[in-house]
Structure 1
C-alpha cells in the first residue's frame, strides 16, 4: 500500500479456498506489528514479518467465521501474541469445527483462548499507530472494523466489499444490523480506504456512490 509518510507498512496475504484477505499493519518507527484476521498460512505470515524485521504484538480479529480464524491454532504454537475478538462472536468461535465442516475446510488443532475482548469505540495501538474499534454487526453478531483515522484507513472484515457486502444469510447474521452498520460507515470520510476481507481495496466514497447496498436493501 502507498505510504508517502513512511510511518506504516501493510502486508497482505490471500488464503484458503474462499480467497480470504488477511493483513498485518506495522509501525515502521517501532517495528511493532499486528496481524488482522488469522485466516491461514500462519507460518508464512510469521516468516514474512520476521524477514521484514517486524515483531508481532497482537492478533486482531474482525470476526469469527472459519475463513478468518483457521490459522489461529497454528499461529498460537509459534507465537504468544494475544488474540482480540468481540465477545458477541464467541458462539461462532466455539462452533469453528462445525463451520469448517459446513464449508469443507480443515481446522487442524484446537483453537486458542481469546485473550482480550473488543468493544465499540475501544482505542487500540500498534507502535505509534492508533486505531478505533467500530462495532459493525450484521454479517456476524460481533463483527468489527479497525479504523485508523490518522491514516484514513479501515480494515473492514466482511462488512463491506467493493460493490457488495458480507452475507447476511448465515447463522447469527442480521439484515437490520447490517443496515445500521452501513449507515455508520457512511459517516466516515469519503477518502477512507477500505481493506476488506475479500476482493480488492476500495474507498468509502466509491462505495457510497456505486455500491447498491449503501443505497438501501
Structure 2
C-alpha cells in the first residue's frame, strides 16, 4: 500500500510528491521546492516517517518542477532521473529562470541519470513504468504504477485540461497524440498532476475536452 504526501511548492504552486511503501523506501517526484521552508518541510516529513529516499524523479525539465533538486540530491546523495529528451532543458534552468525574472537559489549541478520509454524504476515492493508523453515538453513523461492504479501526469494532463504547449519544445500536435495513451487506462485510475487537484481517468473522459475515446 502506497503512502503519498503532496507538497505544494514555489510561486507557481507546483505539486511535489513523496511516495513510499511498507519498506520505507521512497521516491521524490517533481521537487519544485524553491523556498527554504518548503525544502525543510520535505526533509522533516522524510525524517519523521523514517523514510529512505532512493529515487529523485522529474516528469519533465521545466524549472518549477526542478527548483529543489540540488537540495534533495545533496541531502540524500541521489542523481536526478529524467527523460533523455529533457536533460538539456533541466541543465538550462538558470536560463529558464531569467526569462521569468526568477533568481535561482543554487545551480542545477547535480548528477543526471536519463531514462527512456518503457524503463522501470523500482522502490520497495513497487515498480514505476516510464511512459513518454511529449507535447508540453519534448521529454515529458507519465509515471505509472499499475498495481496501485496510479499515475503521476506531470504537466501533460490536469483535471479538466492539459499543459500549455507554447514553451520551447512544446507541440499541440504531439500532446494530443500523447493523450491517446490515457484512454487505455482504466476509468478508476488515479491521476496526480503537476499542478492542481488529483482526478481520475473516468472523470477526465467525461469532462476533459481534450480527451476522446
1:196 aligns with 2:193: yes
2:154 aligned residue: 157
Question: What does the per-residue CA deviation read over 1:165-197, in whole Å, with 9 as the maximum and x for residues that have no partner?
Answer: 001111110111101110011111111100000
Gapped regions of structure 1 (runs ≥ 5): 1-6
2:10 aligned residue: 16
Conservation of the 8 A alpha-carbon contact between 2:14 and 2:195: yes
Which of 27, 39, 53 aligns to 1:34? It is 27
Which of 56, 60, 63 aligns to 2:57? It is 60
SS of corresponding position for 1:42: helix
Tell me the TM-score normalized by structure 2: 0.94
SS of corresponding position for 1:214: coil
1:87 aligned residue: 84
CA RMSD of superposed structures (Å):
1.4
1:3 aligned residue: none
Tell me the TM-score normalized by structure 1: 0.92
Question: For residues 41 and 133 of structure 2, what CA distance do their matches in structure 1 show?
Answer: 29
- Give the aligned length: 209
Conservation of the 8 A alpha-carbon contact between 1:137 and 1:181: yes
1:187 aligns with 2:187: no
Question: For residues 103 and 187 of structure 1, what CA distance do their matches in structure 2 show?
Answer: 37
SS of corresponding position for 1:213: coil
Conservation of the 8 A alpha-carbon contact between 2:185 and 2:201: yes
Question: For residues 39 and 166 of structure 1, what CA distance do their matches in structure 2 show?
Answer: 17
1:4 aligned residue: none
